[in-house]
Amino acid sequence: MRNAWTHRLAAGAIAALTGLTLGAAGAAAADTPLSLLINRSVDGRANNLQHPTWGQAGQPYRRVAPANYVDGKSQQVTPVKADRYVSNRIFNDVNQNVFSENGVSQWGFVWGQFMDHTFGLRGQEGAVPAPLPFPGFPADPLESFSSDAPIDFSRSQAVDGTGVHNARQQLNTVSSYIDGSSVYGDSASRLDWLRDGSVDGNPANNSARLLLPNGYLPRRDARGNAATAPPTDLIGRLAGFPDEAVVAGDVRANENIALTGTHTLFAREHNRIVAALPAILPNELKFQIARRVVGAEQQFITYDEFLPALGVNLAPYRGYKPNVDATLTNEFATVGYRAHSMIHGEFETDAEADEYTPAQIDALRAAHVEVEQVGDELEFTTPLNIAFGNPNLVKMIGLGPVMFGLSSESEYKNDEQIDNQLRSVLFQVPKPGAPNPLDCLDGPPLPTCFNLVQDLGALDIARGRDHGMPSYNDLRRAYGLAAKSSFKAITGEATEAFPSDPLINAAHPIDDPNILDVTQLFDREGNELAIGSEAGDATAVREVRRTTVAARLKAIYGSVSKLDAFTGMLSERHVAGAEMGELQRAIWKREFESLRDGDRFFYLNDPAIPAIQALFGISSRRTLAQIIRANTDAEDVPDNVFKLAPA
């Protein structure tokens, strides 16, 4: 009786969702499209029926403000100072940790990156190598690295037909929508490889499940010939071990173990949903149901957990608006969403010691993960430069501990400071003959371990010029904000003058390393912390330096009118209760409202979502904690993984 009832339920479900009917053998009519579920295209096309290319992969970014090129076409604005020079004086954290003032966990930056890799990837094919217009600065008194090689940089690909007689535009190669594309990809060929089954260019004849050997993402050689795997970025150590790279919907899935782990989590979630559906349903229908739910879950997490945790408050949702273009804006992708200062310099977690064999512990230590046993638990610390391009570590540590660790540690404060793992040795591998890698983790020894400098903060400034971003004040005006008339008005500090201090060279203060000295630290309750103490390194949310950010900005730029948008945005005083200043919050607010209101399949508007829940009991309104618990052994993650538990 139960099998007959299940068959009738499945038949009714298919009819309700697609208009299909099941034959006696349970097969759907082959010539009838699964219209309701499959019409969320893999690349975003035809989401908007009146404007089919809005939000589609392979389209130019939208612009909020006019492009800012010297000739109005392509010539980049000349920088006031070299970007590494600015970075050494503004972005340099001098190895002092400062954490989120609102108790946002590391899931803040990890989910932010996961979403970034869902809706944005600038075109790079055909870009002409164009090194940054400055070499390294080994003679700079504020430079701690010795490399004099240029920082590697190339201009983004120009959209065909732009940059010669009109303003240069850049390409977004992925769909702009929050649609789970980082799990599934933006092309049929990539999806065909990712789905369990044949690889013949037609994903619709594959299993409903994603290929997930032993519960982890497939390596490039999972189907035999690694050369036939979809493209994936081979960063850092993976350049020497390409077959160890894993494949996911987005090419950047190997960037760090937290990102790789999040990709793995949602691939598992897809397969969990497939397993929960009636077995009698056709594979393609089960796949499309699971894909639709996963995309809706990611929207729910983004709008109901991630944005509120960061203090980004949106206008109430009033339903789908077909006149809203959800195409990602250049200003958001190039300036506003570059919150790299949030990224912590290491990943920490713990697990039960009896879950690891001595051989597993030895292997982790050999991979340069710090392992310390405390009672019945093991504590793992993975520096960011070890986590780069190292997907094997997710399996070695375990997905559950990786996911739990992100909820138990604070992200860095979203200010003008960027950790040296990003600001100086991004994706770099220690040089031959470097000290023991465990001595190359961070702090003063770091410069002795690397030959080259790769500075993400400097690259962010340079990318703004490449994409023709407006100046700081012009960008504020474009988002309806008043211009700032002084540097101290930007930072909220009391002065933009250098102090009369015997430790600072009065003739050339901007070139004196002492201007960056940290003189005071404070925790979230306003208590002063001792510099160099364990509490100072682990709980500080505010610091005072010998000189103000405003003074250093004024010495570099002279006038606010010359300040670039990226540096100015990060230097702004934060809005109360938010992880960012006025400009960045305004950019996020407008963008995430457009991504929501301009998506015909937003989970609160999509009729398939309540139908799936009514027919199969599968809800899309699941917190990230619920998804982690359902797919890993991390059962004790907090209900809201984006906020740290009260001390």
Q: Tell me the per-residue pLDDT of 438-464, one tens digit each, with 9 for 90 and over.
A: 667 666 777 877 777 889 999 999 999
So what's the pLDDT on residue 646? 78
Shortest CA distance to 271 belongs to which of 229, 215, 221? Answer: 215
Lowest mean pLDDT among 76-90, 225-239, 336-350, 423-437: 423-437
So what's the pLDDT on residue 14? 62
Query: Taking residues 426-446, what's their average pLDDT?
Result: 71
Looking at domain 60-174+332-344+410-597, which CATH architecture does it have? Answer: Orthogonal Bundle (1.10)
Q: How confident is the model at residue 15 (pLDDT cuts 50, 70, 90)?
A: low
- pLDDT at residue 142 tops 70: yes
So what's the pLDDT on residue 454? 86
Query: Taking residues 573-595, what's their average pLDDT?
Result: 98
- pLDDT at residue 382 tops 90: yes
Question: What string of DSSP letters covers 144-209?
Answer: -----SPPP-BPPPBPTT-SSSS---BEE-S-SS-SSHHHH-SSHHHHHHHBSS--SS-GGGS-SS
**Domains of the chain: which residue ranges?**
2-38+187-221+238-325+603-631, 60-174+332-344+410-597
pTM value surpassing 0.85: yes
- pLDDT at residue 210 tops 80: yes
List for the chain the helix, strand, coil content (%; round to 5). 40, 10, 50
Shortest CA distance to 287 belongs to which of 194, 200, 198? Answer: 194
| More reliable by pLDDT, 645 or 508 | 508
Query: Taking residues 66-88, what's their average pLDDT?
Result: 95
SS3 125: coil
Token pair of 269, please? 């979630």
CA separation for the pair 421, 141 (Å, rounded): 20
So what's the pLDDT on residue 138? 65
3-13 residues labelled b (16+ CB within 10 A) or e (exposed) = eeeeeeebbeb
So what's the pLDDT on residue 236? 84
- pLDDT at residue 33 tops 80: no
So what's the pLDDT on residue 131? 47
- pLDDT at residue 121 tops 80: yes
CA separation for the pair 547, 397 (Å, rounded): 42
- pLDDT at residue 27 tops 70: no
SS3 529: strand
Mean pLDDT, rounded, of the chain: 91
- pLDDT at residue 572 tops 90: yes
So what's the pLDDT on residue 367? 92
Query: Taking residues 421-434, what's their average pLDDT?
Result: 79
Q: Which residue blocks in 384-518 are alpha helix, DSSP H? A: 384-387, 392-397, 399-408, 420-423, 456-466, 472-478, 487-491
Instruction: Tell me the pairing of strands 370-374 and 377-383.
Output: antiparallel
